[in-house]
Amino acid sequence: MNRRARATRTACGVFAAALLLGACTRDGAEPPAAAAPGTAPSAAAQPMTGPTPRGTLLVADFGADTVTFVDPRHGATGSVTVGRAPYALAVGADGRAWVATAEGVAVVDTRTRQRLARIPHRTATGPVTDGEYRGGGMGIALSPDGTRAYVGVNVPGGNGVLEVVDTATREVTAAVPVGRRPFDVDVSRDGTEVYVTGHDSFDVTAVRADTLRPRRIEVAPYGTEGGTASWLKPHYTVVRPSDGKLLLPFEGERLAVVDPRTGRTAIEAMTADTHQHGAVATPDGGLLVVGTGAVRPGEGKGPSLTVRSADGTERIVPLQGPHEDVAVSPDGRTAYITGGHTRDGHWDGITVVDLGTDATRRLPAGTRPLGIAVL
């Protein structure tokens, strides 16, 4: 299916379409959570005591002001208050989680499950609100040595900012202009560059870690027609471990492979035929991509997880209901997909996928969970 003719589709501005499709919400509005059928855990999770076990999941509760710790077999074991509408998180080797919220970057000791600090944004983002278009932190990543946290800050109605946080002093040390609505932030494996995905500006901003000098790389395999009203925009980026190229999935049809050194983009075919959001590299060099479902009835397939091998072959695992982001276990055997979703239709849980058998089970966890990490 070629979606080029639909590049001017309204993402949120046509309210009648949004109501019909369950697409996006109005600025600042919180969509109602949808009840979702699921498989009940075999036994209720118990409140956690003692150090947090390895393999525990941590999710950012976009529908609350917390992060939730999740036993991957049974469900939530406890939560920590971090700040309004947490979007994404990054966890360092020291066990500290850096959480992007509407109010600033929260620091959580995941071993003791305590909030250590909340660092206010330097950038003015307007009133602290909830919802898909709220101002404040979105994508976040850590430098390989853990000395810096990089957070993409959404400024409603304008371009975004990359704020640089010194993790030792817990202070914002710099602010770099980037694209609109910085959905995702990634760092090169050697730490020399930071990549900020501008959802509403059809781009990735590459920022030198030493000079903090930004350069814009347009990533628009369907073109930019329709501007902010288009559905055909980038969401999440993966830095391919083998060569450092950037992988951006679009619509279950096209994978944009961007060379950040030259800014050139090559396109590879994808097969899921669904609107795509979260993505993560697998330990064997593959790629997992979350499909949220058809934007309009009859114009694409339902929610899914694309399991793409390093050679480009794909298999599609169907999912129940929309999802947002994905993490993979260190051994590469299990995927964890959050049900929070930035659009309508979210649910309060995680889908667990056995990547050996493609069997799925649903795990109640969190409140509209978006970002996720395996501890």
What DSSP element (H or E) covers 186?
strand 182-187
Q: What pLDDT score was predicted for residue 267?
A: 98
Quick check: is 28 in a domain? no
Give the CATH number for residue 338: 2.130.10.10
| CB contact set of 205 (below 8 Å; sequence gap of 6+) | 162, 176, 178, 179, 195, 196, 198, 214, 215, 216, 217
Strand-pair partners of 315 = 307
Q: Are 154 and 199 in contact (CB under 8 A)?
A: no
What DSSP element (H or E) covers 291?
strand 287-293
Strands annotated E in 22-177: 57-61, 66-71, 75-81, 88-91, 96-100, 104-109, 114-120, 136-142, 148-154, 161-166, 171-177
| CB contact set of 190 (below 8 Å; sequence gap of 6+) | 144
* 3-class DSSP state of 200: helix
> Domain tally for the chain?
1
* 3-class DSSP state of 352: strand
> Taking the mean position of all CA atoms in its chain, how far away is CA 167?
22
Q: Are 295 and 222 in contact (CB under 8 A)?
A: no
Quick check: is 36 in a domain? no
Q: How many CB atoms lie within 10 A of CB 84?
A: 16
Quick check: is 319 in a domain? yes
Q: What pLDDT score was predicted for residue 23?
A: 33
Q: How far apart are CA 130 and CA 27, in angstroms?
A: 9
The sheet that has 88-91: what strands, in order across it?
88-91, 96-100, 104-109, 114-120
Nearest Cα to Cα of residue 360 among 331, 330, 324, 321: 321
**230-268 pLDDT, tens digit each:** 889 999 999 999 999 999 999 999 999 999 999 999 999
Nearest Cα to Cα of residue 204 among 251, 254, 139, 269: 139
Q: How many CB atoms lie within 10 A of CB 218?
A: 15
Quick check: is 3 in a domain? no
Q: How far apart are CA 240 and CA 285, in angstroms?
A: 8
Quick check: is 9 in a domain? no
User: Which stretches of the chain are DSSP H helices?
Assistant: 15-21
Q: What pLDDT score was predicted for residue 361?
A: 97
Print the domain residue range for 303: 48-374
**106-122 pLDDT, tens digit each:** 999 999 999 999 999 99
Characterise 153 by phi-psi region: left (phi > 0), alpha (psi -120 to 50), beta (else): beta
Q: Dihedrals φ, ψ of 102, to 5°? A: -65, -25
Q: Which residue in the block uniquely carries the two structure tokens 């814009």?
A: 216
**Residue spans of the chain under pLDDT 70:** 1-44
Quick check: is 368 in a domain? yes
Quick check: is 30 in a domain? no
Quick check: is 40 in a domain? no
User: Which stretches of 71-112 are DSSP H helices?
Assistant: none
Q: Are 360 and 63 in contact (CB under 8 A)?
A: no
* 3-class DSSP state of 254: strand
Q: What pLDDT score was predicted for residue 18?
A: 33
What DSSP element (H or E) covers 109?
strand 104-109
